[in-house]
Amino acid sequence: MFEALGISGSGLTVHQKWLDAISDNIANINTVRPTNEAAFQARYVVAAALENGGTGAGVAVAGIKLGNAEGRLVYDPEHPLADARGIVRLPDIDLGEQMTTMIMAQRGFQANTANLDRVRASYQAAIQMGRG
C-alpha cells in the first residue's frame, strides 16, 4: 500500500508543476518585447513514467520544453517598445489551448488527491481491524 502513496504523490507533483507552467504561460500571454529580442517562451512540462522492475512506480518531471522564441509580430505603433515600423513581438501562446490543458491538469491533480484519500481510508480501516 505504501507504493500507492508514492505513485499518487508523484502524480500530484507532476500535475502541480504542470499547473505552475500553465499559469506562468497565461500570466505572460501579453508580454511585449522589442523585435530585436526573443519573445516569452511558453513552458511545457515533459513527464516520464517511472519503472520498478517492469511495473509502474509513478511519474516524474523529465524536463521543461520551451515554446517558440520567435513569437508573433504585431503592429502596435503606440507601444513604447515598438520598432521604427511600429511592430512589437508577442509570445505565440494560445489562451484556449492553455485553458484546456489547465483543466486537464486540474482533473489529474484531483484524481490523485482522491486516490490518496482512498488509500488513507484503507489504512485507517486496516488499523481499526488490527485493534480488534
Whether 81 shows a pLDDT value over 90: the answer reads yes
CA geometry: angle 8, 11, 15, nearest 5 deg: 140
Residue 131 pLDDT: 80
Are the C-beta atoms of residues 13 and 128 closer than 8 Å to each other?
Answer: no
| 66 phi, psi to nearest 5 deg | -95, 145
Give the pLDDT band (50/70/90) at residue 130. confident
- Residue 2 pLDDT more than 90? no
Strands 43-52 and 55-66: antiparallel
Question: Rounded to 10 degrees, what is the CA torsion of 76, 92, 21, 116?
Answer: 130
Residue with grid cell 509502474, as numbered in its chain: 56
Q: What confidence tier does 3 reach under pLDDT thresholds 50, 70, 90?
A: confident
Measured in whole angstroms, how far is the alpha carbon of residue 76 from the centre of its chain? 31
pLDDT at 34 over 70: yes
* 76: enclosing H helix or E strand: none
